Structure 1
Amino acid sequence: MYLSVVVPCMNEEGSIPSLVARLADAIGPYKDRAEIILVDDGSTDATWAAIKAAQQICPQVRGVRMSINRGHQIALTAGLEAALGARIFMLDADLQDPPELLADMMTMMDRGYDVVYGRRAERQGETLFKRATAHMFYRVLNAMSDVDIPRDTGDFRLVSRTALDAVLAMPEKARFIRGMFAWVGFRQIGIEYSRAAREVGETKYPFRKMLRFAIDAMTAFSTKPLKLATRLSFVSLGVAALMMIYVFRSLILYQTAPGWASVVLAISAFSGVQLLTLGILGEYIGRLYVEAKNRPLYFVSEDTRAAESAPPVLLKKRA
């Protein structure tokens, strides 16, 4: 197998036909040595039926159905582990990232690159809030991270088998795929493109999931939040010392006029710093708790490559 295309799908029944049609055209030069892996991430609509119908039309399609919804990054991991190709192309089912860019990415990989990622030069159909938060996310992430993660990129990329095997060797449960590819290194280059508006369905990343995703990304690639908590503690101690000096001065000069506002303000400020510090520590402790349980990332309930539905398959343990 020369080329594998991996697409996580969650309630994308309306997108599957056009997705497969455009992918079939994109992989045309390699169709005899290519596969299209569509991972159904516990969809509640007819996505799985649409995947099986697409397989009847396009023999390169392979469906992988997860036992329950595990989230975009885990579904993508399941598809990457199932991929057999020497080169692996990743994109989302909403077609905001153009499959037609595969030809340019293949050309760049022919020149010796191991990772060719798409960089969003323009975001069509997105709200000002979404564009602003995405812009801020990548800047803050790079400021907090110990790894230089390319800005304005997603999981839309073409990777070599060498780079993919390196990423799959990483055992963490909280996956941030684009950051993991940045961490493993190898030769990487970006290609700018205009990200289209979603034509069918709705986004699977509301603000709550975006916030959770951002926290996972920052805690997965940096200990700087812990250092920030320490610095905030020292700042709090410094402010407390200044307030103590002010109190003693007031006592000495008999300027002890009552003032509830300053007391409430001080208590609120210190309480906020303490809660923030506890929250940051809690994120890291929670991550350690999840990793210590060493549970499998996912189960597969059905794989259309098999002659018949197989029982759930346990994810192999990685050292």
Structure 2
Amino acid sequence: MSQILYIVVPCYNEEAVLHETARRLKDKLRSLEEKKVISPESRVLFVNDGSKDKTWEIIAQLHREDPVFSGVNLSRNRGHQNALLAGLMTAKDRCDMAISMDADLQDDVDAVDAMVEEYRGGCDIVYGVRSSRKKDTFFKRFTAEGFYRLMNFLGAETVFNHADYRLMSKRALEGLARFREVNLFLRGIVPMIGYRTGTVTYERGERFAGESKYPLKKMLAFAMEGITSLSTKPIRYITGLGFLIFFVSLVMLVWSIIRWAGGDTVIGWASVICSVWAIGGLILLSLGVIGEYIGKIYLETKGRPRFLIKEVLDSHEEG
């Protein structure tokens, strides 16, 4: 029996690419339906994350013209991760499996076939992993690969060169729904779900149209969000650094006493100034890291909703 697939696509100011994305995804669903791999009830679910352009109007138009397109309109902009979660949770009760991907068509649509095949082979989660970064500039490649290595080093388990292009079964989606974090980092949360996983490699293409929603500044903030949301290792490293500095200070104290006993009482101002600045910088850095964690605790204890849905367009629900 063919199973229902929902392709979840978060959108923020994507009017330039949306029609082409819709065309390619519709063709992909029709191709899989003809092979009797998925059910004709399968859908493309666009999630409007408070776009300022005509993204929602286009989604509504697509839905009116063809029921294969569904839409979720959030009450306001909540960020990529929350928009993606809203789409997955909306699809959870309507599908047997869901694939998440970005609207810019950099993710290879043809990799969907291999993902579904892995699912049919027994995998609950299938990760789309980039085969290479040859098309990236040296700076982009260096920072992106450094991002994944830093995340794993600091205890935030992620899949190398995997973003948010993945397939999740209904069981995996139900598992994801039990994670109640307000500070979302799905790339680190999904591996925690467990179950059988698989990977599909693909060549990532160029953005079809529009501008990237993740410049360097936003990527750095995203990395900080992931590290502080999933791991306490930075605090442990700060503790270790504190012990190291304390040990060095004891050594310096012994050395100063020995110098004083030998009659050498001239203390170099350069070493004092450097020490003061170094310790002061480390203290501020440590306070900043700890402050990040306290801020996250503050937000988690409030229990604010991660997203609010203003409107849902889906032929299943309307029927």
Contact 1:233–1:273 at 8 Å: present in 2 too? Answer: no
Provide the rounded CA distance (Å) in 2 between the counterparts of 1:19 and 1:306.
Answer: 20
Shifted more, 77-86 versus 117-126: the winner is 117-126
Structure 2 residue aligned with 1:167? 176
TM, length-normalised to structure 2: 0.91
Provide the rounded CA distance (Å) in 2 between the counterparts of 1:93 and 1:76.
Answer: 11
Provide the rounded CA distance (Å) in 2 between the counterparts of 1:279 and 1:93.
Answer: 35
* CA deviation profile, 1:3-44 (whole Å, cap 9, x unmatched): 111000011101100100010011111462111111111111
Provide the rounded CA distance (Å) in 2 between the counterparts of 1:295 and 1:146.
Answer: 24
| Letter paired with 2:63 | Q
Contact 2:156–2:226 at 8 Å: present in 1 too? Answer: no
Structure 1 171/196 Cα, relative in aligned 2: closer, same or farther at 3 Å?
Answer: same
Provide the rounded CA distance (Å) in 2 between the counterparts of 1:225 and 1:46.
Answer: 42
Off by >6 Å, runs of 4+ in structure 1: none
Which among 189, 202, 214 is matched to residue 211 of structure 2? 202
Matched, 1:139 2:149: yes
Give the match's secondary structure for 2:132: strand
Which among 26, 41, 45 is matched to residue 28 of structure 2? 26
Matched, 1:273 2:275: no
Provide the rounded CA distance (Å) in 1 between the counterparts of 2:4 and 2:237.
Answer: 46
Gaps of 5+ in 2: none
Contact 1:124–1:194 at 8 Å: present in 2 too? Answer: no
Provide the rounded CA distance (Å) in 1 between the counterparts of 2:133 and 2:77.
Answer: 27
Give the match's secondary structure for 1:266: helix
Provide the rounded CA distance (Å) in 1 between the counterparts of 2:66 and 2:245.
Answer: 63
Structure 2 residue aligned with 1:314? none
Provide the rounded CA distance (Å) in 2 between the counterparts of 1:59 and 1:124.
Answer: 38
| Letter paired with 2:19 | P
Instruction: Kindly state the Cα deviation for residue 220 of structure 1 after the two structures are TM-superposed.
Output: 2.1
Which among 68, 75, 78 is matched to residue 83 of structure 2? 75
Provide the rounded CA distance (Å) in 2 between the counterparts of 1:302 and 1:232.
Answer: 50
Structure 1 residue aligned with 2:162? 153
TM, length-normalised to structure 1: 0.91
* CA deviation profile, 1:167-218 (whole Å, cap 9, x unmatched): 1110001111121110111100111111101120111011221111111211
| Letter paired with 1:219 | T
Contact 2:67–2:315 at 8 Å: present in 1 too? Answer: no
Which among 130, 136, 150 is matched to residue 126 of structure 1? 136
Matched, 1:63 2:59: no
Provide the rounded CA distance (Å) in 2 between the counterparts of 1:279 and 1:137.
Answer: 20
Structure 1 residue aligned with 2:301? 292
Contact 1:125–1:198 at 8 Å: present in 2 too? Answer: no
Gaps of 5+ in 1: 308-319
Give the match's secondary structure for 2:99: strand
Instruction: Kindly state the Cα deviation for residue 124 of structure 1 after the two structures are TM-superposed.
Output: 5.9
Root-mean-square deviation (CA, aligned residues, Å) is: 1.7
Give matches, 1:173-184, under 5 Å.
Answer: 173-184=182-193
Which among 97, 105, 115 is matched to residue 87 of structure 1? 97
Shifted more, 218-227 versus 110-119: the winner is 218-227
Structure 1 residue aligned with 2:112? 102
Provide the rounded CA distance (Å) in 2 between the counterparts of 1:71 and 1:123.
Answer: 26
Contact 1:119–1:151 at 8 Å: present in 2 too? Answer: yes
Instruction: Kindly state the Cα deviation for residue 63 of structure 1 after the two structures are TM-superposed.
Output: 1.5
Provide the rounded CA distance (Å) in 1 between the counterparts of 2:133 and 2:83.
Answer: 24
Provide the rounded CA distance (Å) in 2 between the counterparts of 1:186 and 1:178.
Answer: 16
Instruction: Kindly state the Cα deviation for residue 122 of structure 1 after the two structures are TM-superposed.
Output: 2.1
Structure 2 residue aligned with 1:310? none
Shifted more, 15-24 versus 40-49: the winner is 40-49
Provide the rounded CA distance (Å) in 2 between the counterparts of 1:184 and 1:227.
Answer: 25
Structure 1 residue aligned with 2:310? 301
Provide the rounded CA distance (Å) in 2 between the counterparts of 1:86 and 1:260.
Answer: 70
